[in-house]
């Protein structure tokens, strides 16, 4: 088990908080909560050790093409593949964008 933290520039705060996913095999739980404007912080707790570079690449690829809302994100990962992680994050962003 490993705990990783990341910070990225962000836009306006998310409108609401949201929870997506589950700490089940090959899945992850993502808690998203509005944060101060301009700041996205992510804490990842993952069952897979030595994967910090992969998480970083995944986040950078996502946030290079879209400015994320200002949030604090907690990720509890149980061996999700990058594809699943991306889907869950997109799902979470969709939910915090709605009222």
Partner 1 sequence: MTDHARLLNHRTFTELGARERARALLDRGSFRELVDPFERLISPWLPGQGIVTQADDGVVIAKGTLEGEPAVIAAIEGAFQGGSMGEVGGAKIAAALELAAEDNRKGIPTRACLLLETGGVRLQEANLGLAAIAEIQAAIVDLRRYQAVVGVIAGPVGCFGGMSIAAGLCSHLIVTREARLGLNGPQVIEQEAGIEEFDSRDRPFIWSLTGGEQRHATGLADAYVADDLEAVRNEVLRCMAGGPVEQTRSRRHAQYLARLATLGTPCPLLTAADVRDLYKENDQ
Q: Residue 22 or 66: which CB sits closer to partner 1?
A: 22
Residues 34-93 that bind partner 1 (CB under 8 A): 45-47, 74, 76-78
Contacts of 42 (CB under 8 A, 6+ apart): 5, 6, 7, 8, 59, 72, 73, 74, 75
Shortest distance, CB of residue 31 to partner 1, whole angstroms? 6
Q: Residue 67 or 76: which CB sits closer to partner 1?
A: 76
Angle at CA of residue 76, ends 70 and 82, nearest 5°: 80
Q: List the one residue from 4, 31, 51, 87 that touches partner 1 (CB under 8 A).
A: 31
């Amino acid at each position: 088990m490993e705990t990783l933290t990341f910070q990225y520039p962000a836009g306006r705060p998310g409108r609401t908080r949201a929870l997506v996913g589950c700490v089940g095999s090959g899945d992850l739980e993502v808690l998203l909560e509005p944060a101060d404007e301009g700041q996205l912080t992510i804490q990842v707790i993952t069952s897979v050790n030595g994967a910090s570079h992969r998480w970083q690449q995944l986040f950078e690829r996502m946030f290079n093409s879209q400015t994320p809302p200002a949030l604090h994100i907690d990720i509890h990962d149980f061996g999700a593949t990058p594809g699943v992680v991306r889907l869950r994050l997109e799902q979470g962003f969709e939910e915090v964008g709605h009222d």
